[in-house]
Amino acid sequence: MTENIINYLINTRNQKSEVAAKIASSFEKHDDIRSELERWIEKQEYPQDNFLTIEGYTAEEISRLAPFMDGVGVYNFLVTLRERPENAKRIIVEGFPRK
């Protein structure tokens, strides 16, 4: 199911296959997030209609708040918003601190 994501990570971001598989695995439980990420991979743009909203945030909004993230990072953060919303909201409030 995550083959397109793995191929993108290996071929575009030069990730090792093991790392790509681990990153892609976070999308396995969330078909809607995975599907929207696959559209981003194909078009390199966030959807302007029929987009996901998780805890009040869209992928495009996360991208504007954290411009250092590519689509994979943005959609990975949407997984965090769904699975651990309080933690994710704290990260947003703190301005996406990078260690």
What pLDDT, in 10s, does the model give residues 46-91?
Answer: 999 889 999 999 999 999 999 999 999 999 999 999 999 999 999 9
Q: Is 82 exposed, middle or buried (0-12, 13-18, 19+ CB in 10 A)?
A: middle
Q: What is the pTM of this model?
A: 0.92
How many CB atoms are located within 10 Å of the residue 4 CB? 15
**pLDDT at 97 (0 to 100):** 84
Closest to 63 in 3D by CA, of 53, 75, 52, 51: 75
Collapsed DSSP state (helix, strand, coil) of residue 34? helix
d(CA 70, CA 74): 6
